[in-house]
């Protein structure tokens, strides 16, 4: 991976090293909660769209509030549906959590929603993910298929 807009590299390196990662679940719209999590040194947040009244706009604000910290924003989407997953990925979180994946078919659908063609069905809406053009677009699809 050549970029780390949302601390993906730091977060996955910590997991691979076997260290414990400490995080918290975000269920409030107030982005100060995420800002404090980042400043307090948490490794990740779990921004919960499944069980909290969070909109795509409030999720974006939580992700932005963590920029400049070492905290990785993870987003739990409410459903395993491409039309829900794809716009959340366009916000460039460190990762997403997809609930209720209970079969191989559901797992394949989740992976396809997260990957660009030829291995997936994800489209391009990469303003944040390419850091508004700082990451060359021709490099992004390979890096975005995480």
Closest of 43, 51, 45 to residue 32, by C-alpha: 45
Q: Which of 13, 30, 32, 51 is catalytic?
A: 51
Q: Given CA atoms 102, 104, 109, 111 in this order, what sign does their dihedral have?
A: positive
Q: Has 51 been annotated as catalytic?
A: yes
CB 66 within 8 A of CB 45: yes
DSSP 41: T
C-alpha–C-alpha distance, residues 25 and 103, integer Å: 26
Catalytic residues: 51
């Amino acid at each position: 991976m050549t970029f780390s807009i949302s601390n993906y590299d730091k977060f996955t390196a910590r997991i691979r090293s076997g260290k414990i990662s400490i995080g918290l679940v975000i269920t409030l719209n107030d982005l100060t909660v995420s800002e404090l999590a980042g400043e307090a040194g948490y490794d990740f947040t779990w921004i919960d769209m499944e069980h909290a009244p969070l909109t795509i706009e409030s999720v974006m604000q939580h992700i932005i509030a963590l920029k400049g910290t070492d905290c990785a924003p993870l987003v739990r989407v409410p459903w395993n549906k491409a039309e829900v997953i794809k716009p959340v990925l366009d916000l460039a979180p460190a990762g997403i959590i997809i609930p209720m994946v209970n079969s191989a078919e559901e797992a394949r659908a989740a992976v396809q929603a997260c990957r660009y063609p030829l291995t997936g069905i994800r489209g391009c809406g990469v303003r944040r993910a390419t850091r508004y053009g700082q990451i060359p677009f021709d490099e992004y699809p390979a890096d975005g298929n995480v």
